[in-house]
Amino acid sequence: MKRAEQLINILLVGLDAVMVFLAFIIAYNARAKAIPLPVIYIWPFGQFLLLALQMLPIWALGFAFIGLYSSQRPRFGEIGKIIAGASIGAMALVLWVFLNRSDFFSRLIVFYIWILSIVMVGLGRTVFSLIQSNLYLFGFKKKVLVIVGKGNENDERFATQLKSNPSLGYNVYGIVSEKKPEFETFKYLGQPEEIERILKIHKVQEVILTDAQMDNDTFFLVMRACQESDVTFKAVPAHAQVGVRTMQFDASTGVPIIEFRGTPLDSWGIVFKRIFDILGSAIAIIILSPAMAIITIVIKIDSKGPVIYKNRRIGNRGEFETLKFRTMSVEYCTGSAYGGNRAEEFENKLIKEKNIKKGSAVYKIGDDPRVTKTGQFLRKTSLDELPQFFNVFLGNMSLIGPRPHQPKEVNNYTKEQRKLLLIKPGISGLAQISGRSDLSFDEEANLDIFYLENWSIWLDLFIIAKTFGVVFKGKGSY
């Protein structure tokens, strides 16, 4: 670990400790004064503070054990580690109370401490990141970076992107390549074989290898030189298209092996997401039940036919039926239970004449003549999708994920786009908060593939929060 990283981690350990300590203090006052529940016995504040100080090392060890002080701290994944570390600390506190058979006043305070420690540590780290980014923006102690590549246009574009984003903290010093590049945007420092001399002369702090086709001998020469010079070495992966973000390393066979997983939603990830879906959909169904009852009555008054329209879609486990409020006249609804073959033929005709997503695997019919007056309002406000919370509760959909498509649309997916079938489809997703139907399907697919390769509960919460704003604006509704 480099000195700068060590310093940052030391600061973060101290910051986390302060924030956890504040969480203890706030929890004490909330339970003793702010929460209108009877308190039979309460420790003196000084005695409680002593307990808090005793617990801080355990909280720090929990955070360290879970990997919160590693050199890689992705923003979306950090909240999960904070929750896990705080959970270890809270369990240690419960165990302490149990073993000491203490007259610790309210066991409920442990819950307050757990929640508040997550909030406070997350808040502290957010502020820390903002301060750190702003220091970089003003040129404060930027890392001296050298790019090792082919010296082509891709290297120049990559270096320009790094330079144009000062919050990353990079000072792109120059480029190392076999041949001197034609562009003069960045300084040419020499060939990869000269890397040891280059690192020493120019006091380089970080190297990024962009040549994914570099031969093994040169690759290991550059990597060893960086390691021996205490320089951070990174490489742009050669196989990013197969999901390198979800690599898993295993050496149990005696030979180092890298497993490329399609999504981090394996093992406990899928359990956490399912619990999140059950709780979220149950709450939504309860809160929205009056609105759904009113919509049911309006649909019945507006047109004949069933209130709920069931449509076959493809998910990660094959075909299933999505539930939506019916927005079209029943004779135009596709499916054997509705308009049958005639409705299917009419839809295919409309796709040819009014499809506004040309050259795409999926279709969207503009100015659809089949939609009822009530249906137009429901589609614009996305209220027609409220019954899909029952899909989520039953387990064939998720709150967040790629939108499910019909079998005839899935048949048009490219090989890369079939990665969308690795996870459950969702009511909302990155595509929905980034332009919704204004995007091409290729753009939607790229966003959803990014989501499945970088999933976290924190990312789900972010998308849910953004979804409310998009829906209220009624922009690009489906």
Kindly give the pairing relationship between strand 257-260 and strand 187-190. unpaired
Which secondary structure element, helix H or strand E, spans residue 234, and what is its range?
strand 232-235
d(C-alpha 469, C-alpha 433), whole Å:
8
| Beta strands at 308-315 and 318-325: parallel, antiparallel or unpaired | antiparallel
DSSP label of 267 = T
Give the tokens for residue 92: 């240690």
CA pair distance 228, 51, nearest whole angstrom: 45
Residue 239 has a pLDDT of 42
What pLDDT, on a 0 to 100 scale, did the predictor assign at position 37? 57
Domain ranges of the chain: 3-137, 143-239, 268-328+369-473
Task: Report whether 175 contacts 36 (CB < 8 A).
Answer: no
pLDDT at 363: 83
pLDDT of residue 133: 66
Per-residue pLDDT of the chain (478 residues; tens, 9 = 90+): 455 666 777 888 999 999 999 999 998 888 777 555 555 566 778 888 888 998 999 988 888 888 787 655 555 557 878 888 899 988 888 888 777 766 655 667 888 899 999 999 989 988 887 777 666 555 566 778 889 988 888 788 788 877 777 667 787 888 888 888 877 777 888 888 888 898 888 888 888 888 877 888 888 888 888 877 878 888 876 544 445 455 555 544 345 555 555 567 766 678 888 999 999 999 999 999 999 999 999 999 999 999 999 999 999 888 999 999 999 999 999 888 888 889 889 999 998 888 887 667 788 888 889 999 999 999 988 899 999 999 999 999 999 999 999 998 999 898 888 888 888 999 999 888 876 556 778 888 888 888 888 888 778 888 888 888 777 665 544 4
Q: Looking at the DSSP assignment, which residues form a beta bridge with residue 371?
A: 328
| pLDDT recorded at residue 475 | 54
In this structure, how many other beta carbons lie within 10 angstroms of the beta carbon of residue 199? Answer: 23
Q: Which amino acid is at 152?
A: N
Residues 17 and 85: their CA atoms lie apart, in Å, by 12
**Model-wide pTM > 0.95:** no
- Residue reference for tokens 């005695």: 47
For 143-239, CATH gives 3.40.50.720
What integer pLDDT is reported at residue 427 of this predicted model?
95
pLDDT at residue 385 in the model: 94
CB atoms within 10 A of CB 230: 11
pLDDT value, residue 68: 81
- Cβ-in-10-Å burial (0-12, 13-18, 19+) of 245 comes to middle
Position 260 scores a pLDDT of 54
